Structure 1
Amino acid sequence: MSWQELFKLNPWRFCVGILLQMLGAVGEIGVAYLLTLQFDAVRSRDLRMFVFWSVLQIICYVLTYLSYNLAGIIWQKHVQNYLHLIRQELTDHYFEDGKSHLSSSVQNRLTNDLTLLHNDYLNSFRYVAGMAITILSVALTLFTFQWTLLITCLVFAGVQIYLPKLLNKPLQKAINRVSDTNKKYLQTLGDWLIGLSEIRRYLASQKLFKVIAEKSGRLEIANIQKQKVDQELDYLNQLAYSVGDALIFLLTGFLVVEHLAVFGLIASIGNFNSALFGSLQGIANYGGRMRSTKKLRQEILKSRKEVENKKVANLQQPAAFSIKNLAVAFANGEGVTFPNFEVKAGEKVLLTGDSGTGKSTLFKLILGELQASRGKIRFFDENEKLIHPDLAAIGYLPQNPVLFPATIAENITMFNARLNGLVASATKKAQLATDIAKFPNGLQTIINLDKLNISGGQRQKIVLARGKVHHSKLLLIDEGTSAIDQKATMKILDQLVKTDTTIVFIAHNLNEGMRNIFDREIHLSK
């Protein structure tokens, strides 16, 4: 994220926004200059010139604030387009990099971090541009009145430009702290609110409130610390402004008394001082904030980079696989080792084992969501020929199905309209047709993820139907029927085993009749 990118997005709109901001800044100095001429006319008792300068001043006021308002509208439209582009690039990156990202981290990046950069960098750039023109306009105006005033102002300008460097590092740390703390706060909300119903059932609200209050308190402290550094920066600049303002006014009085400057300058020097030192203070503040976002901008730039997908040619849909010497190590020092085995095309395999033996982990390795620390997985087609697998073509039904706030039909087809004709048949095979008939809008019922207008069993049936319409040759089911009653489960399994799809099914509580449906059982042990 940089102003150069903002310029390249739409150079014309960028320039118009900045030029209008600069025009408003020049207009402000023009108002102060006309005040000088007004007071000179009063001293000369020239009513006609006083009225003339007053009318010009009113016109200048109108043009000034019109310029500022138009600049703000154009700039915000331009910035929002830029932020929209960045959000798209971030989303594309997270989608394409194939890595597992915490939803809280992604939310923080797309919301809080971009808001910080919007306020502290993009908006600051426009203000700095306008303030720079204000300083230049004041300098030129003061030079026409008396060169010593300009020299004095330049001295104080140097002091104010140096001041932000004293607090640049603390301010940058404060911004990074706010971003990191907000990320942890969002993660905490995600971890705890997902089980809100369980907390209600066991009346454990005190624990929920305590955890959220603690994380919220840390976020509050981080924001207060950032505000504290902002206030310290404002204080230093305000102190320099007050001292400079007093000295400039004293110098102006001396010059007027000595007839080295026009009388009207006494009336307008306060406006010039306010514009000059206010702009210097603003550049110091906004410039400091812009510099403090450097690390965050670099992180976002890294997260926006286009992912180079090195796709292997001739990827094929796998129908079988084998594992050999496979193991995975976790960050906490623990790990799982798997026995060597092979699943042939068309086989229906029941995968069992105690908790912690790596059943779900094995599925993640097969799907490419985890990388093995050693060993390999080889994939084959239906003719037992070794292939380069298209992992996206492997069907996967997790215990906790992932659904979207869209229609039931769209959740089955995963937004592929070409599969609409297969939905009705898939719902029958997944024992979902009876459930669908209970909804007034049928397959067009929109799933409400907040109010949960469908049951856990219905969620699993929808995902089972999803696997049906996508015709995966290899289907991995991880407790995919745990929320469905045994009678419906038996019917579903009966339908599954009649297909030529290779199925690996994880389950704990199957009766003997269900177990006999499968060709064989692979039991994992620690």
Structure 2
Amino acid sequence: MYFIKELIEKHKFLMICSLCLIIIYSFNGVLISSLVYYAGKFNAHTSLKSVLIYLVLALAAWGVIYFAQFLLSVVQSKVIKEVNISLKGEVITNTWFANGKHENSADIISLLMNDFKLLETNYLTEFFEIIENLFLLIVSLAYMLILNRLVALVFIAFSFLPLVTPILFSKRLNLAASNWTKKNDALITKVKDFYQGYSTFRTYGVQKRIYSILYGRVVDVEDGQYHLSVRQSGAQLAGSLVAGIGFIVPFSIGCLLIISTNSFTFTTLLAIFLANDRVISPVMSMVSSFNQMESTATIRKKILQIINKKPSLYERNDSSSEPQSDNEESKFEARNMYFRISESKSISFDLKVNNTDKILIFGESGIGKSTLLKTLNGDVNADSGNYIEIKNNDAIVRNPTEDVAYINQNPYIYKANIADNISLFNSEAQLDKLKSAFTEARLTTDYELSDMFQINLGENGSMLSGGQRQKVEVARALFANKSLILADEVTANLDSENAKEIRNLLFRLSQPVIEVAHHYDINDKRYTKIYNLQNNGTLVQIK
């Protein structure tokens, strides 16, 4: 019911307009019947003026009803558009700001493009169809009863006769269809199995026997299809006979009334007959619509689960809009940090970072070095501890994402130009700031400054080498004016030459850098501090 409430509560005016238009359009069910009814009253004594009035009124009624249908379509499309924007907006918000834990992009695309389309066509649209058919039923039924209550009730009662046929034949048809499906599946299995294993049959000289088995399966399938077709034809025959009874019997009863009373005419009988179709078909349509709406239960549940999430990251400020001042002295501390990796494994550490530090953290593979960095970045929530920025001797507890750039071994590159990849699609990015980041990241060794807006880097940076990808990521950090750079195995996928270039680039940066690495030179004097993450989860400073 959440989605129906979304329709009614957030779009009351549009829903009221829609309801008014539905009421007008529901007279479509009796329009032709009424035209026939009143035309049947004309005779040789009818004046030309009466016919002209009939013509004008008929055209006016037709125009009003179908113009109402047009407006109804526009209003309903507007409502569905607004609901889609609202719901998709919530889904995108809650998946985008999901504490760094994003769904698979293919799942999000499928949800937005496919599942929401099914929700639109099989739920929202069907909801409107139910309302339309309900009013169509009410108007048509009232019109029939006004013309003649007895004949109307007879027509309605006999109109339900065709519903009996599917009930009587459904079990036999389902059984025949099930048998054919089983035989067809068996044939597919045998064909696939036997053709793939043909060499074995040939080795043992049993091709003719296997051919006979396959041929027998083909005959079984076609025999099953034949019996299914016969039963379907029988059901169609029974349905046609019952439909004939449902039309002929009440029509004959109407004829009896015509010859036995002067108050009931053939014109009235014909009008009731024409209106009767607009009583039964709406009932069938509403049943179908309810079934369609029910078929979206899984999709609605999936969307509601996402909508009901409460992402905390949505409240965080965009750090790119609040750059740190280059003139302020500052340093960073991770105090009393503790987090549990598994039941038997945890890491605890304290870390002080000065403005000019270049820090190396090393340790065995899988010990938790990358996870440690991610606590500093905010991607992993520590069980306890604080991230502190010290400015002018004042300790300020900060959200790490406001200060930290995180560079991993395989940074994501967007299918866009270099400038958009560096500024992350900031349309208001200052050109001087872009050029500065581009130059300081040493992208000038690979591209001209004019290339920033000209060259598309391809899907996930398909046009870049491993070293160039790292340079783009470094340029992002510089452009965002992040105060601390975290480098997670940034040289792991690079050859020795590119690895040396990227490491030299990191050492040249004015910001402090914390690097986690497997391949390093522990004697490199450019590291101001070196830490070893040990097996017991403690971080030990060795330099």
> Normalising by structure 2, what TM-score?
0.68
For residues 406-438 of structure 1, the C-alpha deviation after alignment (integer angstroms, 9 at most, x for no partner) is: 43223223345355432222222222112221x
Q: Give the conservation status (yes or no) of the 8 Å contact 1:407–1:447.
A: yes
Report the Cα distance in structure 2 between the residues aligned to 1:485 and 1:85, rounded to whole angstroms: 48
Q: 1:402 aligns with which of 412, 418, 427?
A: 412
Q: CA RMSD in A?
A: 4.2
Q: 1:156 to 1:68 in 2, by over 3 A?
A: farther
Report the Cα distance in structure 2 between the residues aligned to 1:46 and 1:318, rounded to whole angstroms: 101
Tell me how far 1:352 sits from its aligned partner: 2.5
Q: Give the conservation status (yes or no) of the 8 Å contact 1:319–1:501.
A: no
Which range moves more in the overlay, 28-37 or 340-349?
Answer: 340-349
Q: Give the conservation status (yes or no) of the 8 Å contact 2:155–2:250.
A: no
**Structure 2 match to 1:362:** 372
**Structure 1 match to 2:78:** 77
For residues 305-351 of structure 1, the C-alpha deviation after alignment (integer angstroms, 9 at most, x for no partner) is: 584759799x999723245553223xxxx774336453433432222
Q: 1:90 to 1:265 in 2, by over 3 A?
A: same
3-state secondary structure, aligned to 2:406: strand
3-state secondary structure, aligned to 1:74: helix
Q: 1:271 aligns with which of 265, 270, 274?
A: 274
Report the Cα distance in structure 2 between the residues aligned to 1:501 and 1:242, rounded to whole angstroms: 87
Q: Give the conservation status (yes or no) of the 8 Å contact 1:405–1:447.
A: yes
**Structure 1 match to 2:362:** 352
Report the Cα distance in structure 2 between the residues aligned to 1:341 and 1:2, rounded to whole angstroms: 49
Which range moves more in the overlay, 12-21 or 27-36?
Answer: 12-21
Q: Give the conservation status (yes or no) of the 8 Å contact 1:426–1:469.
A: yes
Q: 1:25 to 1:423 in 2, by over 3 A?
A: same
- Residue segments in structure 1 that go unaligned for 5+ positions in a row: 162-235
Q: 1:341 to 1:465 in 2, by over 3 A?
A: same
Q: 2:441 aligns with which of 430, 448, 464?
A: 430
Report the Cα distance in structure 2 between the residues aligned to 1:355 and 1:156, rounded to whole angstroms: 79
3-state secondary structure, aligned to 1:337: strand
Tell me how far 1:462 sits from its aligned partner: 0.8
Give the alignment of 1:269-418 within 5 angstroms.
269-293=272-296, 296-297=299-300, 299-304=302-307, 307=310, 309=312, 319-322=332-335, 324-329=337-342, 336-338=345-347, 340-346=349-355, 347-372=357-382, 376-382=384-390, 387-393=396-402, 394-416=404-426, 417=428
Report the Cα distance in structure 2 between the residues aligned to 1:282 and 1:242, rounded to whole angstroms: 23
Which range moves more in the overlay, 240-249 or 471-480?
Answer: 240-249
Tell me how far 1:477 sits from its aligned partner: 0.9
Q: Give the conservation status (yes or no) of the 8 Å contact 1:326–1:340.
A: no
Give the alignment of 1:109-120 within 5 angstroms.
109-120=111-122
3-state secondary structure, aligned to 2:459: coil
Tell me how far 1:32 sits from its aligned partner: 1.8
**Structure 1 match to 2:96:** 95
Report the Cα distance in structure 2 between the residues aligned to 1:153 and 1:360, rounded to whole angstroms: 77
Tell me how far 1:278 sits from its aligned partner: 1.0
1:505 aligned onto 2:515? yes
Q: 2:486 aligns with which of 463, 467, 476?
A: 476
For residues 180-223 of structure 1, the C-alpha deviation after alignment (integer angstroms, 9 at most, x for no partner) is: xxxxxxxxxxxxxxxxxxxxxxxxxxxxxxxxxxxxxxxxxxxx
**Structure 2 match to 1:31:** 32
Tell me how far 1:113 sits from its aligned partner: 2.3
Q: 1:412 to 1:451 in 2, by over 3 A?
A: closer
**Structure 2 match to 1:457:** 467
**Structure 2 match to 1:142:** 144
Q: 1:448 to 1:494 in 2, by over 3 A?
A: closer
3-state secondary structure, aligned to 1:381: strand
Q: Give the conservation status (yes or no) of the 8 Å contact 1:160–1:281.
A: no
Q: 1:458 to 1:390 in 2, by over 3 A?
A: same
Report the Cα distance in structure 2 between the residues aligned to 1:507 and 1:481, rounded to whole angstroms: 8
Counterpart residue type for residue 390 of structure 1: N
Between structure 1 and structure 2, the one with the greater Rg is: 2
**Structure 1 match to 2:254:** 255
Q: How many residue pairs align between the two structures?
A: 440
Report the Cα distance in structure 2 between the residues aligned to 1:99 and 1:509, rounded to whole angstroms: 28
Tell me how far 1:248 sits from its aligned partner: 6.3
Report the Cα distance in structure 1 between the residues aligned to 2:396 and 2:6, rounded to whole angstroms: 44
Q: Give the conservation status (yes or no) of the 8 Å contact 1:364–1:370.
A: yes
Tell me how far 1:132 sits from its aligned partner: 1.4
Q: Give the conservation status (yes or no) of the 8 Å contact 2:151–2:254.
A: no
Tell me how far 1:494 sits from its aligned partner: 3.8
Tell me how far 1:21 sits from its aligned partner: 3.9
Tell me how far 1:40 sits from its aligned partner: 5.4
**Structure 2 match to 1:128:** 130
Counterpart residue type for residue 445 of structure 2: T
Counterpart residue type for residue 95 of structure 1: W
> Normalising by structure 1, what TM-score?
0.70
3-state secondary structure, aligned to 2:341: strand
Q: Give the conservation status (yes or no) of the 8 Å contact 1:352–1:507.
A: yes
- Aligned-residue identity in percent: 19
Q: 1:482 to 1:461 in 2, by over 3 A?
A: farther
Q: 1:155 to 1:355 in 2, by over 3 A?
A: farther
Q: Give the conservation status (yes or no) of the 8 Å contact 1:481–1:489.
A: yes
For residues 212-251 of structure 1, the C-alpha deviation after alignment (integer angstroms, 9 at most, x for no partner) is: xxxxxxxxxxxxxxxxxxxxxxxx9xx9999688546523
Which range moves more in the overlay, 149-158 or 453-462?
Answer: 149-158
For residues 463-501 of structure 1, the C-alpha deviation after alignment (integer angstroms, 9 at most, x for no partner) is: 111112323232211122445554554454345335563
Tell me how far 1:287 sits from its aligned partner: 2.6
Q: Give the conservation status (yes or no) of the 8 Å contact 1:249–1:269.
A: no
Which range moves more in the overlay, 345-354 or 58-67?
Answer: 58-67
Tell me how far 1:285 sits from its aligned partner: 1.3
Report the Cα distance in structure 1 between the residues aligned to 2:299 and 2:384, rounded to whole angstroms: 38
Q: Give the conservation status (yes or no) of the 8 Å contact 1:40–1:263.
A: no
3-state secondary structure, aligned to 1:115: helix
3-state secondary structure, aligned to 1:73: helix
Report the Cα distance in structure 2 between the residues aligned to 1:287 and 1:47, rounded to whole angstroms: 50
**Structure 1 match to 2:538:** none
Report the Cα distance in structure 1 between the residues aligned to 2:457 and 2:439, rounded to whole angstroms: 19
3-state secondary structure, aligned to 2:401: helix
Report the Cα distance in structure 1 between the residues aligned to 2:379 and 2:89, rounded to whole angstroms: 23
3-state secondary structure, aligned to 2:365: coil
Q: Give the conservation status (yes or no) of the 8 Å contact 1:31–1:61.
A: no
Q: Give the conservation status (yes or no) of the 8 Å contact 2:417–2:457.
A: yes
Report the Cα distance in structure 2 between the residues aligned to 1:452 and 1:18, rounded to whole angstroms: 54
Counterpart residue type for residue 135 of structure 2: I
1:421 aligned onto 2:428? no
Counterpart residue type for residue 93 of structure 1: N
Report the Cα distance in structure 2 between the residues aligned to 1:156 and 1:386, rounded to whole angstroms: 85
Tell me how far 1:281 sits from its aligned partner: 0.8
Counterpart residue type for residue 376 of structure 1: S
